[in-house]
Copies of this chain bind each other. A is one copy, B any other.
Amino acid sequence: MISCPKCSEVGSIMKAGYVRNKQRYVCKDCNYFFTLSNPDQIAPIKNSRRHQTTIIDIARSTGVSNSTVSRALHGHADISPETRNAVLEMAAQLDYQPNQLAYNLVKSRTNTIGMIVPEFTNSFFPNIIIGAHELLTEAGYNLTIMQSNESYPIEVSNTKAMLANRIDGLLISLTQETNNYDHLKVFEKRGIPLVLFNRVCDYVSAPKVVVNDFEGSFLAVEHLILNGYERIAHLGGPLNLLVSRERLRGYRAAMEKYGKNIEENMVIQGMFSQQKARIYGKYLLDLESRPDAIFAVNDSSAIEIVLMALEKGIRIPDELGVVGFSDNPESAYIGPGLTTIRQPTHAIGKTSAQWVLQLIESEEEMILPNEKVLKTELIVRGSSKRNRS
C-alpha cells in the first residue's frame, strides 16, 4: 500500500494521472501530489528490443507534455514558436519516427486503400494498379495490394486481412472462381467503401468500373465480318464472370446483325489459362470444317491460337482471322500482329480509385450503387486484315 510522503496517510491515496510517464498520486487528506521515486518504477524502458523513440521521449527531454509535443509535431496553432522549435529539434535529434499504427488506432482510419487482383502475370492488372496508385498517392493515401491468384479461398482470406487491417476502402477484381459474395457483403454491412472493377458481379450493391465489353466484342466481330470472314468461332471465358458473358453477348449480337449463322459447336466457354487455351484452340483448328476466324476472349488465348496456326501452317490472315481482347504488350509482335480490343487499363485504375475516395470523403450521403463503363478501342493489325472491299 502506498503511503503519503507528507502525512503518511495510507487510505486516502488516489491515482492522479501521469507525469513524465510515471504514475502520479494525490493524498486526499493533505492534498499533496507526488510520484514514487522507486528507481525500478521510473521509465520502464523494458522490452529491450531497440526502444523506438516516442512522443514521450521527446516530451521528457524537452520538458514539456506529450500533448504539446503532439501539437508541435502536427503544426497545430496555439503553440509558442520556441516550444515548437525545441520539440522539432529534439525530434530530429532523437531520430523520431511517428508510429502510424498508434495514430491509426486512435483515429480509426488508416489512410490506406486495399486492392485485390486475381493475378499479376499479364500486364493488365499491373497497369490498372499503376493508374490507381498514381491517383491515390497524390491524394495522400497508401495502397496495399494483395493477389488472390485466381483462388476463391485466397480471395476470402485477403478480404479478411484487409478488414482486420482497417483499410479505408477496397478495390477488388474477382477471381474466375468466385460465386459466393458474402465476403463482400461484409464491407457493405460495415460501411467500408468498396469498388469492384473489371471482374465484377451483379450480386453485390457496390459501384462497378468496367469497360464496354459488349461493344468491344461487337466491334471485334463486326471487324472480322467486314473483312470477309464468315464462319467465326468464339473462344470464351468462364460464364460466371460478367466480362465473359458480355463478350459472348457482343459476339452473338454482331453475328446476328450481319445475318451470320452461329455454329454452336464453335462457341466454347472455359477457364482462363494458357493450357486450356491450347486445348480449346486445338479443338477448333482440328474441326473437320474449320472456322475461318476466331474471336478469343483475351489476347493470351488468341496468341496461343496464332502460334498453333503458324505451327500447323495455317496462313494468317488469309486462311484464318484472329482477334483477341486486351492488347497485351506482346500482341503487336505476334505473327503478323494480333488485332485486338484495347482496354483503358490506366483509366480503370484511376476511375476506381477516384470513386473509392469519393465514397470515403462523402461520409453521410448514401451514394447509389452505380456503374462506370469505359470505352474500348479496336486495334487493327495483321491477323485480321483481309479487306477485300
Binding site for B on A (CB under 8 A): 11-15, 28-29, 47, 49-50, 52, 95, 97-102, 104-105, 108, 110, 120-121, 123, 126-127, 129-130, 133, 137, 142-147, 154, 160-161, 163-166, 186, 189-191, 328-330, 332-335
When C-beta atoms are compared, the residue in chain B nearest to A27 turns out to be B11
- In the assembled complex, which residues on chain B have CB atoms less than 8 Å from the CB atom of A101? 101, 104-105, 110, 165-166
- In the assembled complex, which residues on chain B have CB atoms less than 8 Å from the CB atom of A49? 108, 191
A20 → chain B closest CB, angstroms: 20
- In the assembled complex, which residues on chain B have CB atoms less than 8 Å from the CB atom of A145? 143-145
Contact of A164 among B100, B143, B189, B191 (CB under 8 A): B100
Query: Cα distance A226–B147 when bound, in Å?
Result: 44
Contact of A108 among B29, B47, B127, B191 (CB under 8 A): B47
Whether A165 pairs with B100 at a CB distance below 8 angstroms is yes
A-B contact list, 29 entries, CB within 8 Å: A11-B28, A15-B15, A47-B108, A95-B186, A97-B160, A97-B186, A97-B190, A99-B105, A99-B166, A100-B161, A100-B164, A100-B165, A101-B101, A101-B105, A101-B165, A101-B166, A102-B105, A120-B127, A120-B129, A120-B130, A123-B123, A130-B147, A142-B144, A143-B146, A144-B144, A330-B330, A330-B333, A333-B333, A333-B335
Query: Cα distance A332–B332 when bound, in Å?
Result: 12
Contact of A15 among B14, B47, B144, B328 (CB under 8 A): B14
Q: Within the oligomer, what is the number of copies of this chain?
A: 2
Whether A105 pairs with B108 at a CB distance below 8 angstroms is no
Contact of A14 among B14, B102, B123, B130 (CB under 8 A): B14
Whether A126 pairs with B133 at a CB distance below 8 angstroms is no
Whether A28 pairs with B52 at a CB distance below 8 angstroms is no
Query: Cα distance A102–B103 when bound, in Å?
Result: 10
Whether A121 pairs with B130 at a CB distance below 8 angstroms is yes
Whether B163 pairs with A142 at a CB distance below 8 angstroms is no
- In the assembled complex, which residues on chain B have CB atoms less than 8 Å from the CB atom of A147? 130, 133
Query: Cα distance A127–B125 when bound, in Å?
Result: 12
- In the assembled complex, which residues on chain B have CB atoms less than 8 Å from the CB atom of A166? 99-101
Query: Cα distance A132–B189 when bound, in Å?
Result: 33
- In the assembled complex, which residues on chain B have CB atoms less than 8 Å from the CB atom of A190? 50, 52, 97
Whether B186 pairs with A161 at a CB distance below 8 angstroms is no
When C-beta atoms are compared, the residue in chain B nearest to A107 turns out to be B101
A340 → chain B closest CB, angstroms: 13
Query: Cα distance A189–B189 when bound, in Å?
Result: 44
A353 → chain B closest CB, angstroms: 14
Given A15-B15, A130-B120, A146-B142, A99:B328 Cβ within 8 A: no
* Known A95-B186, A145-B145; 20 more pairs at CB < 8 Å: A11-B29, A12-B28, A13-B14, A14-B14, A15-B15, A49-B108, A49-B191, A50-B190, A97-B160, A97-B163, A97-B190, A105-B105, A120-B127, A121-B123, A121-B126, A137-B154, A142-B144, A142-B146, A142-B165, A333-B334
- In the assembled complex, which residues on chain B have CB atoms less than 8 Å from the CB atom of A14? 13-15
Query: Cα distance A54–B332 when bound, in Å?
Result: 54
Query: Cα distance A49–B109 when bound, in Å?
Result: 11
A62 → chain B closest CB, angstroms: 21
- In the assembled complex, which residues on chain B have CB atoms less than 8 Å from the CB atom of A97? 160, 163-164, 186, 190
Query: Cα distance A105–B166 when bound, in Å?
Result: 13
When C-beta atoms are compared, the residue in chain B nearest to A164 turns out to be B100
A186 → chain B closest CB, angstroms: 7
